[in-house]
Chains A and B, each alone.
Chain A
Amino acid sequence: MSNLKLIIRREFIARVRNKTFVVMTFLSPLIFVGMIGLITWLTSLSKDEVHEIALLDETGVFEPYFKNSKGMSYIQYSDLSLNDAKDSVIAKDLYGLLYIPKNKSNKELEKAIQFYAEEAPNIDVLQRIEKIISEELTHQNFEKEGVDVAVIESSKAKVDIQIENFLGEKTSKISNYVKMFFGGLAGYLLLMFVVIYGNMVMRSVIEEKTSRIIEVIISSVKPVQLMIGKILGTTLAGVLQFFIWVIIGSVLFVGASFYLGVELQPESTVQVSEVLQEEVNNQAQLIFQDISNLPLVSLTILFLIYFIGGYFLYSSIYAAIGAAVDSETDSQQFMLPIIVPLMLAFYVGVFAVIENPHGTVSTVFSMIPLTSPIVMLMRVPFGVDWWQILISILLLFGSIWFMVIFAAKIYKIGILMYGKKPSYREIYKWLKY
């Protein structure tokens, strides 16, 4: 067996046998599902909460419009004075006190209504109250001007644009969110993979350096061989983990959609019936329909390509950093060249891509090698021209070559340097040895 193969095998086995790897691989999907469940549960909890609001309407006009609704109930305080009402609200520990003063014109009233509360009230609660009062004031204004409110009501139009692609598939508006979610998930996953596996490479380099086995190894193999073998072995571990996740994810997805009764036929045009669309209960079905309409297979393949490319690019930097320092704590000062482009990519993804997936910023950043893996993955669900993907991948893999040469120069000097904490300047000098 060639030395490179031996190294790759050792590194792969060392990663995969690690307890953290096993736990992460099988527990993360469960944790992920658990998190979604927890968030859903927490949101439903806060929805069940009922805000009790004291209503002191001195005009007596608005009172009938405040009806108990979901999450809000009103208690009549209209026969109390403002001060008594405040005391009572505090004593009874109510959510707040809505005070509508009398003897004001409609114009003055717009600014004169007050809400007393111990803590800043929920925006949603305020908006609902404002809506009720605004609507009633508008009605009054219309009537004052002699406009028939019934006519206005009946002439109000409500537009609901139906989205359909050129192939005739109808999609819901949720589909954009689904694309964002999957693009974001892929980008985020890649970011995590690069950071976690890059760190593994760095730790393993530091371990070899501190345990001093490095000198034994490089008296048998070339340092560059060791570095590349280490990165490749760790990549394989990452790919294995990703495949296990894809399998677990697919099983969960197929299981869930079976449970919800969605027919999974990605090839055929899925007709979303009108009835389905209107039923809120079938929202989940729709989302699943959208997911199954996504280019999941090409997304998975592209994820792998970009993961391998992006990871190779970054882990060569990680390996160089690991070689330059003596301990993990010392590595912090060199993390900047990794963290800045990663964060930049992620924020470009979150802000620019979601705003406009095919805008200039998104396109440029999906070409620059250090940011392209994350940004391009976030763009892919929205549909990207194949030539853009091709250019981006070519640029990425071309730059890997330069990065590996660059990192190897630092690496082969660094692994034999002990005791000193190098500076950026010193590392620059190593490049010229």
Chain B
Amino acid sequence: MTNLLEVQNATKRFGAFTALQDVSIEVPKGSIFGLLGPNGAGKTTLIRIINQITIPDQGKVYLDNEPLQPMHIKDIGYLPEERGLYKSMKVGEQALYLAQLKGLSKREARERLKYWFDKFDITHWWDKKIQELSKGMAQKVQFIVTVLHRPKLLIFDEPFSGFDPINANVIKDEILQLRDEGATVIFSTHRMESVEELCDHIALINKSKKILDGKVSDIKRAYKTSTFEVGLKAENKNGLLDTLNNKFNTTPADFKTIDDQLKLKITLEDTMSSNDLLGYLSDKGQVLRFNEVIPSVNEIFIKTITENE
């Protein structure tokens, strides 16, 4: 799979402060790429470099195998975390203006806006001023403006903040549809459940450095520890617990069940397979639960960050 965007060894300093140090990322074409990191890690600086708002001190950026240059502006759509539109400007005029700045002709912009306004059922907002709209409504307008010029690369910084669950879902579906139509999406967020749900690839940035990146499935595979969550029903619960504690590396587990059972997590040595464990356990009692513990992105996030402190 080819990469739509490649950032190579980007470094950016502001005076004595280093905002980004030697960061490289590769965003495959057609993927949804999660850009993660705590506040102030350097995500926004990286996004601004990709948007050509900030010029890196060192490093190179390639879009579609070409060095990034001003003509690429029309290939990128950017929804910043801090949303903003001209408050006293009318919705339609404003959308036309911003679309034209991205290189669309007025006629083209008007046609596409009509499509999106119909789709979101907001045609009657056209002559309203932004200040008359609610925050969520203004965000919808901003989303449309971001995707209107059909960019190859879409950058969403916290796209769901400010939306109620229903509208967040609408936006999520739109993002997925845009991806299916061929767009590549960079997705910067703190909400790990949406990363889990949407992203194929992630990069984790902390304190101006990239500390982790790759395919989500690969990362999870690397971070899993052959740990299994087990629920057992047995006569002698305490006796069995002692036996298991002696034989395996265990930790207590907590999950909801209807009736009383022994709950624990068992981490296996390399010498033992999950089938061996299951066989052993089924001899001791009735196995009600047996599943591999896959670390969530959230856990990986916290673990990597704290390890890097």
Residues of A within 8 A of B (CB): 1, 3, 6-7, 10, 14, 207-208, 211-222, 416, 429, 433
Contacts and interface: CB of A to CB of B under 8 A. Distances in A.
B15 A429 contact: yes
A10 B97 contact: yes
Contacts of A219: 51-53, 73, 76, 78, 80
Interface of B: 14-15, 48, 51-54, 70, 73, 76, 78, 80, 82-89, 97-98, 100-102, 106, 142, 145
A148 B33 CA distance: 113
Given A14-B89, A212-B84, A214-B84, A416 B101 contact: no
Contacts, number: 61
A49 to B, nearest CB: 51
B49 to A, nearest CB: 11
B101 A211 contact: no
Contacts of A214: 84
Nearest to A432: B15
A220 B84 contact: no
Contact of A220 (B82, B85, B87, B102): B102
B85 A433 contact: no
B98 A216 contact: yes
A360 B122 CA distance: 67
A163 to B, nearest CB: 55
21 contacts: A14-B86, A14-B88, A211-B84, A211-B86, A211-B87, A212-B84, A213-B86, A214-B84, A215-B53, A216-B98, A216-B142, A217-B98, A217-B101, A219-B52, A219-B73, A219-B78, A220-B102, A416-B48, A416-B54, A429-B15, A433-B15
Given A219-B53, A222-B70, 17 more contacts: A1-B100, A207-B86, A208-B86, A211-B87, A212-B80, A212-B83, A215-B53, A215-B82, A216-B78, A216-B84, A216-B98, A218-B53, A219-B51, A220-B73, A220-B98, A416-B48, A429-B15
A141 to B, nearest CB: 78
B225 to A, nearest CB: 41
B69 to A, nearest CB: 13
B101 A213 contact: no
A14 to B, nearest CB: 7
Given A215-B82, A219-B78, A220-B73, A6 B53 contact: no
A14 B87 CA distance: 11
The 6 closest A-B pairs by CB, nearest first: A212-B84, A213-B84, A212-B82, A220-B101, A215-B80, A219-B51
Contacts of B70: 222
Nearest to B52: A219
Contacts of B73: 219-220
B282 to A, nearest CB: 59
B86 A3 contact: no
A389 B83 CA distance: 49
B76 A6 contact: no
A216 B82 CA distance: 10
Report which residue of A6, A10, A207, A220 has the largest number of chain B beta carbons within 10 angstroms of its beta carbon: A220
Contacts of A6: 97, 100-101
Nearest to A418: B82
A140 B94 CA distance: 87
A211 B88 CA distance: 11
Report which residue of A1, A14, A218, A219 has the largest number of chain B beta carbons within 10 angstroms of its beta carbon: A219
A10 B89 CA distance: 10
Question: What secondary structure prevails in chain A residues at the interface with B?
Answer: helix
A215 B145 CA distance: 13
A211 B76 contact: no
A216 B76 CA distance: 11
Nearest to A218: B53
A3 B101 contact: yes
A429 B17 CA distance: 13
A219 B106 CA distance: 19
Contacts of A10: 97
A221 B101 contact: yes
A99 B87 CA distance: 73
B141 to A, nearest CB: 11
A69 B203 CA distance: 96
Contacts of B76: 219
A218 B52 CA distance: 9
Contacts of B48: 416
Report which residue of B82, B84, B106 has the largest number of chain A beta carbons within 10 angstroms of its beta carbon: B84
A212 B142 CA distance: 12
Nearest to B145: A216
Contacts of A7: 101
Given A1-B100, A3-B101, A433-B15, A416 B89 contact: no
A416 B44 CA distance: 11
Contacts of A220: 73, 98, 101-102
A14 B54 CA distance: 28
A213 B14 contact: no
A170 to B, nearest CB: 56
Contacts of A211: 84-87
A7 B98 CA distance: 10
A221 B70 CA distance: 9
B98 to A, nearest CB: 7
A322 B202 CA distance: 38
B135 to A, nearest CB: 12
Contacts of A433: 14-15
A315 to B, nearest CB: 19
A416 B53 contact: yes
Nearest to A429: B15
B105 to A, nearest CB: 9
A222 B87 CA distance: 22
Contacts of B85: 211, 213, 216
Report which residue of B53, B101, B106 has the largest number of chain A beta carbons within 10 angstroms of its beta carbon: B101
A216 B139 CA distance: 13
Report which residue of A3, A214, A216, A218 has the largest number of chain B beta carbons within 10 angstroms of its beta carbon: A216
Nearest to B53: A218
Contacts of A222: 70
A216 B80 contact: yes
A14 B89 CA distance: 8
Nearest to B105: A1
Contacts of A213: 84-86
A416 B97 CA distance: 21
Nearest to B130: A211
B106 to A, nearest CB: 8
A211 B100 CA distance: 20
